[in-house]
Structure 1
Amino acid sequence: MTGLLTEADGSPVAVENPEALSPVLLVCEHASRRLPEKMGALGLSEDALKSHIAWDPGALAVSQLLVKSLDAALIYQRFSRLVYDCNRPPEADAAMPAVSEVFEIPGNASISAAERLARTEALYVPFGNALSDFIVARKAQDRAPILITMHTFTPVYHGKQRDVEIGILHDEDTRLADAMLTAAEKTPGYTVRRNEPYGPSDGVTHTLIKHGLKNGLLNVMIEIRNDLVSNEVGQKVMADYLTGILGESLVALSQ
């Protein structure tokens, strides 16, 4: 393997249950806090690299539970968003952030154009290709997937407490989000809101636009407050809840 990643690093992308019977395609852009060998620690402490700035804690665990409960496919990024945030286009500063919340990222402070390109080619391009290839293959089988991106967010951001527990996010296509919000109203358990704690104006719908909207797919982004999925019990409860409202939503949309 050449470029940014070594043979020991392995593939930048993982695919689970590609032959899933369900149309649901789960995507987890911030699944891992792992850094490629050549990147060192980006000048950060171990505590910083374990925090939410490096990944979305709990997002992959919940996604993997949904793979089983929904018989869904899952595609996720195997390296930290600090190296490249695969939910951002290459031209965006946030794709390789020099600052994340209150943390400065020394290893991202002055990235050359050549290094930006190397990161893009090593992580963003293969991740996007994996999504595109999966979608093309499913559409060729007349089995258009339903794109669901999975994220978590920190309970406190810039010192402000967030009371929303689950965010149902969308861009221009509101169909799946509307159905999920309707199902959530009938299924108490969490505080669920539309386009919180982020929305399209925050630049978080890149994957939805590039792979969902442009392919005419039903799509939604799910944001979970990470303190709710910090252990296996919370992850299971959350996965059960999402399985229920997703299942109800897909039935409603198929009628």
Structure 2
Amino acid sequence: MNDLYRSATGNVSPLVGPGEPPVYEARNEAGKMPLQLVCDHASRRVPAALGNLGLEDEHFHRHIAYDIGAARVTRLLAEALDAPALLAGYSRLVIDLNRPPGHPESIPENSDGTEIPGNRDLDEDAQRQRVAELFEPYHDAIHERIASLWRRSKPPALFSIHSFSPRFGDAARPWDVGVLWNRDPRIALPLMDKLAVRGLKVGDNLPYSGRKLAYTINMHGAAS
């Protein structure tokens, strides 16, 4: 974790107030499958203290706010596979949990052509608070759960669940599902074969690539 951002927030009022949803949702923690499911962009919520980041409600129904459908898929997989799952509790527009702190897309000022007023000109303290209260607890929880799986079973797998829109700009995305992976093909290649046998059009590192920036997988999956 970037030491610049790992620090206490002092006397600043907490972002997530009493009665608001937790920073992350844990499901099926006693699941027997040696697999940790995570969903970085599960939610479109914004802490009340940030006032919708200055955006109209309609923007929180778009892919810029969350990965549409990814939370439902993650919960269904957790049940079907008897695997534990962690789902982020707040929108990627507040802080993107799949980007390292300090990255230009970590706290985006613009997303797919939409200005994010509540993210403009944030000082270091405001950025640090989002990292300390939202980013760090989520990634600490992933680390702890993977460590627990290591202790109780054979080496675990890590699946990070996202979604993609069928079009981006003028480009069509014809795939039913994309499997993103980096160096280790032992899970990715058999999985793609099994999905293809079921008649699905499978993207091999499409429409995104696991060989590019994928913070969560690279941080927690040593042989991704």
TM-score for both structures, normalised by structure 1: 0.79
The 2-side partners of 1:8 and 1:44 are apart by 23
Partner of 1:5: 16
| Alignment pair present for 1:57 and 2:68 | yes
Q: Say whether the 8 Å CA contact 1:156–1:162 is kept in structure 2.
A: yes
Alignment of 1:162-201 (within 5 A): 162-188=173-199, 190-200=200-210
Q: How many residues align?
A: 213
What are the superposed Cα offsets for residues 77-115 of structure 1, whole Å, 9 maximum, x if unpaired? 000010011111102111111111121111112221111
Give unpaired runs (5+ residues) of structure 1: 220-255
Match of 2:57 among 37, 46, 51: 46
**Contact 1:26–1:72, Cα closer than 8 Å, also in 2:** yes
Counterpart CA distance in 2 for 1:90 and 1:193 is: 29
Inter-partner Cα distance in structure 2 for 1:136 and 1:23: 11
Q: Which has the higher helix share?
A: 1
Identity of aligned residues (%): 31
CA contact (8 A) 1:6 1:37 kept: yes
- Unpaired runs of 5+ residues, structure 2, are 1-11
Instruction: Please report how far the alpha carbon of residue 184 of structure 1 lies from its aligned counterpart in structure 2 after TM superposition.
Output: 2.5
Q: Distance in 2 between matches of 1:106 and 1:143?
A: 47
Structure 1 distance, partners of 2:219, 2:185, is: 16
Measure the CA separation in 2 of the matches of 1:34 and 1:13: 11
State the 1:142 CA deviation.
3.3
Distance of 1:27 and 1:17 partners within structure 2: 12
What is the deviation of 1:173? 2.2
CA distance in 2, matches of 1:104, 1:154: 20
2:96 matched to which residue of 1? 85
Distance 1:94 1:132 in 2: 23
Contact 2:179 2:192 in 1 (8 A): yes
Q: 3-state SS of the aligned residue for 2:183?
A: coil
Structure 1 residue matching 2:54: 3-state secondary structure: coil
Q: Secondary structure at the match of 1:14?
A: strand
Counterparts of 1:96-115 in structure 2, within 5 Å, are 96-115=107-126
- Aligned to 2:187, what secondary structure does the other structure show? helix
Q: Which amino acid aligns with 1:194?
A: D
Are the equivalent residues in 1 in contact too, given 2:182–2:211 (CA < 8 A)?
no
Q: CA-atom RMSD, angstroms?
A: 1.7
Q: Which moved more, 1:113-122 or 1:151-160?
A: 151-160
| Structure 2 residue identity aligned to 1:158 | G
